[in-house]
Structure 1
Amino acid sequence: MPERHAFLSPSVARFPRTPVWPRPAAMHFAAALFAVALGGCGTLPQWLAAEAPTPETTVEASAHEAAQQKLHIAVQAAQPGQARLATARRALESLLADDRPEARAVHPYARALLEQVRERQRLASLNERLSRELEQREHDSGEREGELGELRRQNAELRRKLDALTEIERRLTPPAPPPRPGPPQ
């Protein structure tokens, strides 16, 4: 009796499993037969012609890798929360100065990222300037509050003195004599 699996329905479990793909040995035989059949052709398709990498292709690949590495460094340095915008800017400017075809392939990305980095640097400097102005105004307002408090204290002291003088004058001035009755007319 065939082995039953819990996840298969009873009707499916009765039939033995047949492989969908040919076995590896059959695939190798088919590939060898196909290669022999194409052996008489003058040229092989590019996807069959596996050439060993030439020195030019390895140099191009390493130049491409270098351009990609510069772009990667710039992207990593430009991440939010990183204070390395100057590093990102230098890497991007270096990449844009490179005129090799491999570097030119990533120039549009580098230009876009450089524009963002410049804008973030501008905003960071603007933020710093506004923070300094705010601190200066808070400092100035603190000094003004101190001066204002001193002026209020002096005002209160002068008001007390003025009230004291007014009280003294009132005590020193004799009361006015009552009006005399005048002769009847």
Structure 2
Amino acid sequence: MFIPKEGDKIQIQSYKHSGNVHRIWEETTLLKGTRSVAIGANDRTLVMEADGRTWITREPAICYFHAKHWFNIIGMLRDDGIYYYCNLSSPFAWDRNILKYIDYDLDIKVFPDMTFSILDEDEYKIHSKQMNYPDEIDYILKKNMDDLIRWIRGRKGPFAPDFVDNWYERYLTYRS
């Protein structure tokens, strides 16, 4: 299995359960890449939506993916603190210099004070029917939603104090 090395530029591709491309982040710097974990960073990167629209991210972000967890976490560094956007998703997979995963609609937005909101439950219900999500996927996602909330409340993984700041400092060493 080919795994990009630290410092490589990778692309992140998000798909829907149907197999259609959902969103592509054009360039992310890989800070840690193994079979089980990927940590990357980007700032002002081009994002392409499935409908062809494009936009550019507004702030630096640290992206955390795990091969055993059905979620990924993006920590966004803003002037008033770190905001997190968490996607309930399939575990990631490498395809050369492309990190791929399936987005399952449900999201959690976490604020700097560690309060959070669960988002897109209606979208999940609609897509679950449209794309025939198996009952097993529903069970896995609910369990992983509970796990993710435990991580947030326990300040585990990317929610730990200094996690995002430390990885951002490493990212800055590649930006010269």
Q: Give the structure-2-normalised TM-score.
A: 0.22
Structure with the bigger percentage of helix: 1
Q: Pick the structure with greater CA Rg.
A: 1
Work out which structure has the larger RCO, using CA pairs closer than 8 Å and 6 or more positions apart in sequence: 2
Q: Give the structure-1-normalised TM-score.
A: 0.22
